[in-house]
Chains A and B, each alone.
Chain A
Amino acid sequence: MAVISIERMGLLSVFFVCLFFSSAFAVDRGNFKTCDQSAFCKRQRAFKPGQSPYRALLETLELSDSRLTLQLINDNNKVHLLLELYRLQGNMTRVKINELKPLKPRFEVPDVLIAEPPTEPLSVLSKDDNGVVLSLGAESQRLIVSARPFRLDIMEGPEVLLSLNSRGLLAFEHLRLRKDTQAQPEGAEVKESVDGDQQQDEGKKDEDEESNKEEDGLWEETFKSHTDTKPNGPTSISLDFSLPGVEHVYGIPEHADDLKLKTTDGGDPYRLYNLDVFQYELYNPMALYGSIPVMLAHNTQRTMGIFWLNAAETWVDISSNTAGKTVFGKMLDFVQGSSEKPQTDVRWISESGIIDVFIMLGPKPSDVFSQYASLTGTQSFPPLASLGYHQCRWNYNDQEDVKSVDQGFDQHDIPYDFIWLDIEHADGKRYFTWDPHKFSQPKEMLQGLMDKKRKMVAIVDPHIKVDSGYKIHNEITSKDFYVKNKDGGNYEGWCWPGNSGYPDFTNPEMRAWWASMFAYDQYEGSMENLFTWNDMNEPSVFNGPEVTMHKDALHGKWEHRDIHNMYGLYVQMATAEGQIQRSGGAERPFVLTRAFFAGSQRFGAVWTGDNAAEWDHLKISIPMCLSLGLVGVSFCGADVGGFFKNPSTELLVRWYQTGAYQPFFRAHAHLDTTRREPWLFGPENTALIREAVRQRYALLPYWYQLFFQAYRTGMPVMRPLWVDYPKDTATFTIDDEFLIGSDLLVHPVTEEGSRGVTAYLPGAGEVWYDVHTFQKHNGAQNLYIPVTLSSIPVFQRGGSIIPRKDRVRRSSACMENDPYTLYVALSPKKFAEGKLYIDDGHSFNYDTKKEFIHRSLTFANNALTSSNLCPDCNFLTSSWIEKVLILGASKPSKVVLKMNGKETPVDFEFDSSMSVLTLRKPGMNAGDDWTLLLQ
């Protein structure tokens, strides 16, 4: 919610007019830096591929059980770097490069890795003056360190999987003393200008070569009236990666762009710098609210990943050519024969910190997901209700409004689980408080929702109103928890409440205190059905450079520059922790965040920020969430309907239909838009929206099971087709349709006035069933599907079993004890399998007490069997199996239920036109062992 209403902001409006409103409905690009305007990016990008000045000093090699260290030297300036290599469990390699002796420590990202990654022994296979060959264990994988120039190659058999510094773009700006400041006392006013230049010139003789060329922006940089004092001078780092045989790379969200990353030659690199971008534009590499520095590379043979663990401003260049094969060592000579191979080259550039890269070697997509999950953790397992439908608006005006919207859902028989309150609910944007007039009885309101088994989310942003009458501000001040400005005072900036402080979420004590504020006795008016939304946590600073915090602000001893991209992660981390603590650790939290970083998946859901009510924004929601899913964040969604502007009725309906099949399903709207609750567009459209939401609710058991799987394994819930069909090149660029788990394929209608869509059904020899008609279609074809306004093209994979709860009620909690219907879609070989997961839906007991049911459902040899996947788990459910639909079946003469040694006949019906066999009311408990035999 980045937009500001001038009318409401009074004093602030002067700022905003110049900051935001120079164009009507598009991002003001002038507010955000291009690579050329970001001094380090410009500097680094000026280096062209060629001979690297870096050389490995093989004589310094030290090999311990878990790591290899080696010094590198830059022959131009004689600065020594320390290279560390680790072979990690699970087919990963970690490469760290830091200064051997930095003037002071450089920032290394904490709290993102869930643990120090466990290592496996490295062994030297051979070593000579030119390099070292190390064994990476299994599958004849080797790591080759070439000495002159320095480069790394990871090989499997004769194949080079990936090379580092093969284009010679390793550049590590070492910490240095500023020549012109040496005579100056600490903290004195220094002007970077003529004086400095003169001194530089005078001291030229003993300068090393690198800093001889005086460049702008080394020690100070100005962008649009904001000056970044750079007390540490230039600190940027850069490294290139070559991926032979790779034509498709994905990931590095968040960008409003296609799923397959584009080459950046001739344009700006993809930028990773968490920013509050007002009215963002589509199909470009500009930075958005979150950053996950993880890239996936895929071809028909292998999937790999590169995780660049750095929280500073980062730019990623991608090119696709055959350059960089010039300086192969003699051990690699044989590779040169395959010079016609396609290749993707990538260069990462960050402003500060160290080089710390994890190479995830796959080889399967699922391997990369579990490798990345082993480093940064998996998607948190959300409360079941949060997978339902969320109704949001900036803002529901008052308690009456909340009540009438709640009643509207019942009157129109549309299910929903959460209603949301945006910033206007708080008393003057003082989070953790309630507007005394509009929301004077929050508990009464929450109780009203609880009576209907529904929940609420209220926003809590990280900017804190500077107001001596505000408890939160006073406590943060007295505990000295605010971020500091470069001069050591509390950093202050403008945001919703006016002048605001920003708590230092990098400080664990601050986070612990913040978490304690969610206790029921601290957060007045809160109840157990109140959850939280963290917005503006990039952090957004209306009058800051690029609408964010000054890079020279201080978080303890680190500059904001070092930690910027993980500020938002910390906000959500502390908030989620608060929600866990308020229940004594019993209940799962639900926290939505706008800003994120690698590891944010552990703390809740993410949405794609302030989109617009435009068809292209509906389309882009698919690749944006797919990209997030590939790098760990499964719980992703876009504002249904579009945040800015008013959607046409058709767009709104189509967005509900699309959103119903995306992980986080929330409608949201800007303050200035007209009301758009689902029943405001006439009975036909209300019915269409109702149907879309109902389809979502019927499938909640499947969604829940997939999130359990994501939590356990890191497999994305919403996936690109290539994840499940990695050898089918036709799937590699598809981002207008997607898979939910492996078993549902969705091709939403995202074109205005569409009369049909063409969906690609993957899988040669496989079949897909239209979930609405049960019509069977062959895989490996482009299928044209005529559509009407009610159509949501969705297909179930032949070979899968999906449990549904077809008795849709007004909220997910109301459906807790309802029976299941099993949709068994047979493969051409008359086989199918699926899973069923059941727990209480909201507590940690599944984890702490193993209170859950996890069952495998298998159809083979004309028998459908439920077997226990977790025999030592215990959970009792009153849900039962009311119906089984077997798609692609033939007519049996008899159906028998075998359970507890007894056999009972089961009624059935057979629809020969669609080959659908319906078993009527077999009636067994969903947690039992049973077999249904078709005879």
Chain B
Amino acid sequence: MTCLHLLLTLVFAVSLGTPVEIQRPRGVPLTKKQFYEESKPFTCLDGSRTIPFDRVNDDYCDCKDGSDEPGTAACPNGSFHCTNAGYRPMFIPSSRINDGICDCCDTTDEYNSGAKCENTCKELGRKEREVLQKMAEITKEGFLLKQQLIEEAKKGQQEKQSKVTDMQENKKQLDEKVEALRTVKETAEQPEKEAKERHLKAWEEQKAAIRLEKDKAKMAETFLELDDNEDGFVSVSELQSHAELDPDADGTLTEIEAQGLMGGAEQVDTSTFESVWPKIKDKYHSEVSREEADISLCLCVVQAQPTIKTPEKTHEDEEAMPPYDADTQALIDAAQKARDDFEEAEKALREMDDQIRNIEKELSFDFGPDAEFTYLYSQCYELTTSEYIYRLCPFNRVSQKPKYGGSETNLGTWGSWSGPENNKYLLMKYEQGTGCWQGPNRSTTVKLTCGKETVVTSTSEPSRCEYLMEFTTPAVCQEPANIDPSPHDHVEL
């Protein structure tokens, strides 16, 4: 049952090809060999107790820290060291010793389980070296590319910075120009306003005179119309023929009512009609039809003149305002030019502001310690899977669109860098995408790995509505260390 070899003879092939034998208890790394001396009682590595050395690796756990059983599964918290010559050494939990599953490539963890393990360390080492080499190449090239990116980004950044500076300088001038033009405009507008007011006033007076004239003419005309018997008097009965003049709106103009309109008189002559006329002129319907066309024509003229305040209600008797006189028109033209100049300058200023803001926004993004991620800004990268087209627009948003028609789903908009503390630039987080049914808003984590090319390599949805995107970019390639192509072979020796 527990026939275990206390000591294990380890044979190593070093680079020289000379076998070297090192004796130590099974599962102990060289670095701890000194604590396991066969000739002395063993003290648990936590110092908790001392036991005879024959209790080391005797398949019974005596030390609380598991240190007396480095080579057996007896301690629940123990760990076993495999040398894995040709590959990399490692520690495994001691629960994996003799469990029938080959964990150490040198097979040393399965010495008593009957599991048929093959030593795969050489093969693994070779593969790892290949992978490492490949990785190293990629890293090397990627890092070079990254340098370029940094260069470009720095240049770009500087350009943008100086552009912003220039623009801000220009903006200052523009500001001044706008202010100057504003003054010019305001200065020009004052005389314009006064001249226009004058013109308007003159026209109002003229209009009043014309209206009075017209009223008089109409009154005379009406008198003649009413004076049916042409006796030079308008009588009560003659007035009664115009039912529309009924003051109480009961449909009939009674004699008394008519008399009332005539100021109690039975009849009036042209001069006394002047006092009747104001009472009836609003209601009076002429017996002769009028020419409406003239009026509408004159309305058009009035409206076509934009600088004149359009009267709220045009009266039948109104006429077009006469054109401005030459002096006024000159003032108006001058003011208009000042306004145009001012507006143009103001627009230019706004555009300049927008540009500055955009550049400043771009400059405010965290594009990495050396701005190496700058080149991703305002770019988009796509990956097509069997069902969807995924689209990553770094620092903006991630989306998904069905390959065969259908609307796009927002998988998140730029949130933040969210890698581990030591390098937050390894993960990007896009948040607050389209909401999920009975679930959260969609979000995407983008995992960045070193690569020569900038591509989305895979997408997945590990949790419902939480997407994971893998993305390679030279921008995360680290400076290649002077890596040893066969790193761990002889570390122990």
**Smallest Cβ-Cβ distance to A921: which chain B residue:** B60
Size range of the chain A interface in the assembly:
20 to 34
Contact between B464 and A925, CB atoms less than 8 A apart: no
Identify which of A63-71, A229-237, A805-813 touches chain B.
A805-813
A806 touching B76, Cβ below 8 Å: yes
Give chain A residues whose Cβ lies under 8 Å from the Cβ of B462.
397, 401, 675
CB of B95 within 8 Å of the partner chain: yes
Bound complex: CA A674 to CA B443 (Å): 12
Q: Would you give the 0/1 interface string for A638-675, flagging 1 where the beta carbon is closer than 8 Å to chain B? A: 00000000000000000000000000000000011111
Residues of B within 8 A of A453 (CB): 99-101
Q: Which of A413, A814, A923 contacts B101 (CB 8 A)?
A: A814
**Shortest Cβ gap from A687 to chain B (Å):** 12
B249 close to A (CB within 8 Å): no
Q: Which of A778-833 contact B (CB under 8 A)?
A: 806-810, 813-815, 817-818
User: In whole angstroms, how far apart are the Cα atoms of A672 and B438 in the complex?
Assistant: 7
- Asked whether, in the complex, the Cβ of B73 is within 8 Å of the Cβ of A809, the reply is yes
Given contacts A673-B464, A674-B463, contact A808 B99 (CB under 8 A): no
A807 touches B464 (CB 8 A): no
Assess whether B2 is interfacial by the CB under 8 Å rule: yes
The A739-780 residues at the B interface (CB cut-off 8 A) are none
Tell me, yes or no, whether B439 is within 8 Å of chain A by CB.
Answer: yes
In the complex, chain A residues whose CB is within 8 Å of the CB of B404: none
CB within 8 Å of B: which of A855-908?
A: 878, 880, 882-883
In whole angstroms, how far apart are the Cα atoms of A6 and B76 in the complex?
Answer: 47
Shortest beta-carbon distance from B90 to chain A in Å: 13
Q: Within 8 Å CB of B99, what residues of A?
A: 453, 809-810, 814-815
Which chain B residues in 11-60 approach chain A with CB under 8 Å? Answer: 58-60
Q: Is B74 an interface residue (CB 8 A)?
A: yes
Residue among B95, B461, B465 having the largest count of chain A Cβ atoms under 10 Å: B95
* A contact face: mostly helix, strand, loop, or mixed: loop
Docked pose: A880 CA to B1 CA in angstroms: 8
- With contacts A397-B462, A437-B386 taken as known, whether A882 is within 8 angstroms of B60 at the C-beta atoms is yes
A671 to B440, CA, bound (A): 12
Residues of B within 8 A of A808 (CB): 76, 95
Which of B1, B74, B95, B439 meets A672, CB within 8 Å?
B439
Q: Which residues of B contact A413 (CB under 8 A)?
A: 93, 95
A300 at the interface (CB under 8 A from B): no
A452 within 8 A of B: yes
Q: Given A808-B76, A810-B95, decide whether A880 and B2 contact each other with a Cβ distance below 8 A.
A: yes
**B96 at the binding interface (Cβ < 8 Å):** yes
Within B463-493, which residues are at the interface with A (CB < 8 Å)? 463-466
B293 within 8 A of A: no
Give the most central of B100, B461, B466: most A CB within 10 Å.
B100
Q: Which of B449-470 contact A (CB under 8 A)?
A: 460-466
Query: CA A451 – CA B101 in complex, angstroms?
Result: 7
Separation in Å of the B31 CB from the closest CB of chain A?
22
Partner of A818, one of B73, B461, B466: B73
Write out the residue numbers on chain B whose beta carbons fall within 8 Å of the beta carbon of A674. Answer: 440, 463-464, 466
Tell me, in angstroms, the Cα distance from A807 to B73 when the chains sit together: 7
Contact status of A672 and B464, CB under 8 A, knowing A806-B76, A923-B1: yes
Q: Which residues of B contact A672 (CB under 8 A)?
A: 436-439, 464-465
* Complexed CA–CA distance, A880 and B463 (Å): 44
Question: How many of chain B's residues have a CB under 8 angstroms from any CB in A?
Answer: 28
Residue-wise interface mask of A (449-471) relative to B, using a CB-CB cutoff of 8 A (1 in contact, 0 not): 00111000000000000000000
Chain A residues positioned under 8 Å from B465 (CB to CB): 672
Which chain B residues border A451 with CB–CB below 8 Å? 101
CB A563 to nearest CB in B, in angstroms, measures 35
Residues of A within 8 A of B73 (CB): 807, 809, 818
Determine whether the beta carbon of A397 is less than 8 Å from that of B74.
no
A6 to B439, CA, bound (A): 12
Chain B residues with CB under 8 Å of A5's CB are: 437-438
Give Cα A672–Cα B464 distance, bound, in whole angstroms. Answer: 5
CB distance from B62 to the nearest CB of A (A): 8
Interface pair B74/A882, CB less than 8 Å apart: yes
- What residues of chain A lie closer than 8 Å to B1, measured between beta carbons? 878, 880, 923, 925
Tell me the smallest distance from the CB of B390 to a CB of chain A, in Å: 15
Docked pose: A437 CA to B386 CA in angstroms: 9
Q: Which residues of B contact A814 (CB under 8 A)?
A: 95, 99-101
Closest to B77 in A: A413
Judge whether A7 is part of the interface by a CB distance below 8 angstroms. Answer: yes
Interface string of B69-84 (1 = CB under 8 A from A): 0000110100000000
Complex alpha-carbon distance, A7 and B435, angstroms: 12
Cβ of A815: which chain B residues have Cβ within 8 Å of it?
99
Q: Which residues of B contact A880 (CB under 8 A)?
A: 1-2
Q: Which residues of B contact A341 (CB under 8 A)?
A: none
- Return the CB mask of A612-648 against B: 1 if under 8 Å, else 0: 0000000000000000000000000000000000000
Q: List B contacts of A921 (CB < 8 A).
A: 58-60
Of the candidates B74, B100, B437, the one whose C-beta lies within 8 Å of that of A7 is: B437
**Chain A residues whose C-beta falls within 8 Å of the C-beta of B60 in the assembled complex:** 882-883, 920-921
**Beta-carbon contact of B436 and A807 below 8 Å:** no
B366 → chain A closest CB, angstroms:
26
User: Within 8 Å CB of B96, what residues of A?
Assistant: 809-810
- What's the minimum C-beta distance from B420 to chain A, rounded to whole angstroms? 14
Contact assessment for A809 and B95 in the assembled complex, using a CB-CB cutoff below 8 Å: yes
B152 to chain A, nearest CB (A): 36
- Contacts A5-B437, A671-B464, A673-B464 given: A452-B101 contact, CB under 8 Å? yes
From residue B437, how far is it (CB to closest CB) to chain A in Å? 5
Chain A, residues 1-17, CB within 8 Å of chain B (1/0): the string is 00001110000000000
Give chain B residues whose Cβ lies under 8 Å from the Cβ of A878.
1
A7 to B442 CA separation, bound complex (whole angstroms): 14
Contact of A807 among B58, B76, B438, B439 (CB under 8 A): B76
CA distance A925 to B2 in the complex (A): 11
Shortest C-beta distance, A683 to chain B (Å), equals: 14
Contacts of A7 in B (CB 8 A): 436-437
* CA A615 to CA B465, docked complex, whole Å: 25
By beta carbon, the residue of chain B nearest A924 is B1
Contacts of B463 in A (CB 8 A): 673-675
A462 to nearest B CB, angstroms?
26
CB closest chain-B residue, reference A394: B464
Residues in B neighbouring A6, C-beta threshold 8 A: 437
With CB as the reference atom, state the residue of chain A lying closest to B101.
A452
Q: CB within 8 Å of A: which of B283-329?
A: none
Closest CB-CB distance, A172 to chain B, in whole Å? 47
Contact residues in B for A452 (Cβ distance below 8 Å): 101
Q: How far is the CB of A421 from chain B (nearest CB, A)?
A: 16
Distance, CA A717 to CA B96, complexed state (A): 31
Closest Cβ of chain A to B331, distance in Å, is 69
A339-371: CB near B (< 8 Å → 1, else 0) gives 000000000000000000000000000000000
Output the least CB separation between B340 and chain A (Å).
56
Alpha-carbon distance A815/B76, docked complex (angstroms):
13
A699 vs chain B, min Cβ distance (A): 14
The residues of B that contact A694 with a CB separation of less than 8 Å are 76
- Cα A437 to Cα B385 in complex, Å, equals 11
Which residues from B are CB-within-8-Å of A810?
95-96, 99, 101
- Kindly state the separation between the CA atoms of A397 and B385 in the bound complex, as whole angstroms: 15
- Minimum CB distance partner of A21 in chain B: B438
* Max chain B Cβ within 10 angstroms of own Cβ: one of A673, A808, A921: A921
Interchain CA distance A889-B93 in the complex, whole Å: 33
**8 extra interface residue pairs, beta carbon distance < 8 Å, beyond A810-B101, A814-B99, A882-B59:** A5-B438, A397-B460, A401-B462, A672-B437, A672-B465, A807-B76, A921-B58, A921-B59
CB-based closest 7 A-B pairs:
A814-B99, A675-B463, A921-B60, A672-B439, A809-B95, A674-B463, A672-B464
Report 8 cross-chain contacts, Cβ distance below 8 Å, ordered by A residue. A5-B438, A7-B437, A672-B464, A673-B463, A809-B99, A810-B95, A814-B95, A883-B60
Interface residues of B (CB under 8 A from A): 1-2, 58-60, 73-74, 76, 93, 95-96, 99-101, 113, 386, 436-440, 460-466
